[in-house]
Amino acid sequence: MAPVLEIHGLHKTYRGVFGTARVALDGFDMTVEAGEVHGFLGPNGSGKTTTLRTLLGLIKANGGEMRILGHPVPHELPDVIGEVGAIVESPQFFSHFSARDTLSLLADAGNVPQPRVDEVLELVGLRDRAKDKVKTYSLGMKQRLAVASALLKKPRLLILDEPANGLDPGGIREMRDLMRGLAEGGMTVVLSSHILGEVEQICDSVTIISRGRRVTAGSVAQVLAAHSTGQVLVRTESAAELPAAAEVLTAAGAGVTSQSDHLLVSGIAKPAEITRVLAARELYVSELTPVVADLESVFLELTGTAPVAGQHRQVDQSVVTPVEEVKA
């Protein structure tokens, strides 16, 4: 099946009045397969929103190719826009309109039957506040309304920029369940977010962008595996036994890094080998945990945005590591 979303070599340069230029996208690539929840990650100013806006025809690219559901965009965007629901950046609505009015007007503009308005209000949990003016809404409620507006068309591709922004913990979980449910129903979801824990839980695949270029892409599991060190954390019954354990493991050919209360062991094919080697010397393991990379650490490593003590990182201070496509 053809990808739902394809971007190849996308370029965008913003030019100022006085000839100043800032490269926002520098040959960016991205592919999203049908039916998956795809995380789109990047530091502030890395080009995420520019990418989404370019995709939706709001910004003109300087180069590159984009396809949505097989249609080249922006040329054929009008033909496919009915199947794309999107919220870009923070939700913005007329504050004096009610949620129902807001959605009803959008439904009219997009030829969507009016009963669909009540369906999406129910879906995002705004049914009982539908008649209230948007100005009385909290940020989280506005976010729900934005998601409702994106769902109004029953899209095949749903693009959400920071949908969990402003949501309470319950709301975040509801949003997560909603997205999973939508994906299970066949909808493809592109999710731009800074809540990496959420992305890790919810997304099937990710693309990470830094300074306008893709720095990694692939399934979440594969991206994490590619960045895991293969180390195993080892604790013994007594911390006093750690030096002896380190000596034994080193003799067995493992790489050992000693910490105050544990060892980090690498170069051993199977963790069970560690138990066996130590037990043979009457050293008994109390904890044996593979050290797995999380998305946050991968993100910080690839984008070079990890905080450094005593330094104040500026918005555009990120790096572009060599592009890596993680394949199964």
Q: Which residues of this chain interact with another protein, rule CB under 8 A?
A: 53, 56-60, 74, 77-78, 81, 84, 86, 88, 92-97, 101, 104-106, 108-111, 149, 153
Give the nearest distance from C-beta 88 to another protein in angstroms. 7
Residue with Cβ nearer another protein (121 or 206): 121
Residue with Cβ nearer another protein (73 or 209): 73
**Alpha helices, DSSP H, located in 90-238:** 99-109, 115-123, 139-151, 169-184, 196-202, 220-226
Residue with Cβ nearer another protein (84 or 277): 84
Residue with Cβ nearer another protein (105 or 272): 105
Give the nearest distance from C-beta 323 to another protein in angstroms. 27
Could you list the beta-strand ranges (E) of the chain: 5-15, 21-32, 37-41, 63-68, 71-73, 84-87, 157-161, 188-192, 205-210, 213-219, 232-236, 255-258, 263-266, 285-290, 324-325
Exposure string for 76-115, b = 16+ CB within 10 A, e = fewer: ebeebbebbbbbbeebebeeeebbbbbbbebbeeeebeee
Instruction: Tell me the one-letter amino acid at 153.
Output: K
Residue with Cβ nearer another protein (94 or 284): 94
Q: What is the C-alpha to C-alpha distance for residues 93 and 318, in angstroms, rounded to an integer?
A: 33
